[in-house]
Amino acid sequence: MTVKPTPLREQTRSVVRSLLARTAIELFAAKGYDNTTLDEVAAAAGISRRTLFNYFRNKEDLALSSLAEQGDLIAARLAERPADEDPWAALRAAFQVLEEIDMTAEGRLEFITLLFGNDSLRAGHAEKQARWQDLLAPLIEPRLPDTERGTLQARAIAATAIVCLQVANEEWVRLRGQADMLDLYDTAVQAIRRPT
């Protein structure tokens, strides 16, 4: 018998995934990503390793799961923006959702430090952000003048905005969280959009 997913079941699964990921991030921050086992994550969460694998494919998936969710949140926020809004302004407003995620500044600093401090996670982060580009570009394209290269332009804008967000995050970590991350993003965007 196959159980049909219901909105409540999906919402519950999402909450459980989020709690498991948060537990894992706390352990990764305390012990290091490479020094933390999935058995330890499962034990800290009060579940079996087998149950953990019902929610995540592997350790990297567990560490990076919030990035996929963040991409979905950004895309949803971008879709809500006025259709005639400049693509860069719409993206900036959509990225604001990252500041609304329920995570302390210390927790965010630990998470981003963890991401950028591990080669495997950094590569997985880049892969997740490529998915963000796939989510955002179709929402940017209708905001552009109608040309035969609109798809290319939309993908270029999405990719550039994501890279600006990444370098803003890296600078935010370097400053130990002592700056506004979206102000740093604005500075990065201004650097690439400045007329020469």
Task: Considering only residues 86 and 10, tell me which one the structure prediction assigns the higher pLDDT.
Answer: 86
Give the pLDDT confidence of 26-80 residue by residue, as tens digits: 888 788 888 999 999 999 999 999 999 999 999 988 888 878 788 899 999 999 9
Residue with tokens 């989510």: 135
What's the pLDDT score for residue 70?
Answer: 87
Predicted local confidence at residue 99, as pLDDT: 86
Q: What is the CATH number of domain 1-56?
A: 1.10.10.60
The more confidently predicted of residues 106 and 179 is 179
How far lies 166's CA from each of 31, 51, 161, in Å?
25, 33, 9
Per-residue pLDDT for 11 more than 90? no
Helices 105-116 and 150-174: crossing angle, nearest 10°?
Answer: 110
**Is residue 4 helix, strand or coil?**
coil
Residue-wise pLDDT tens digits, 152-164 = 999 999 999 999 9
Domain spans in the chain, listed from the N-terminal domain onward:
1-56, 64-193
Compute the C-alpha angle 106/19/93, nearest 5°: 60
pLDDT per position as a tens digit, 106-153: 878 888 888 888 888 888 888 888 899 999 999 999 999 988 999 999
Per CATH, domain 64-193 is 3.60.15.10? no
pTM over 0.85: no
- For residue 7, name the pLDDT band (cuts at 50, 70, 90): confident
> Looking at the predicted structure, is the pLDDT value of residue 8 above 80?
no
Reported residue count of the chain is 196
Higher pLDDT, 102 or 41: 41
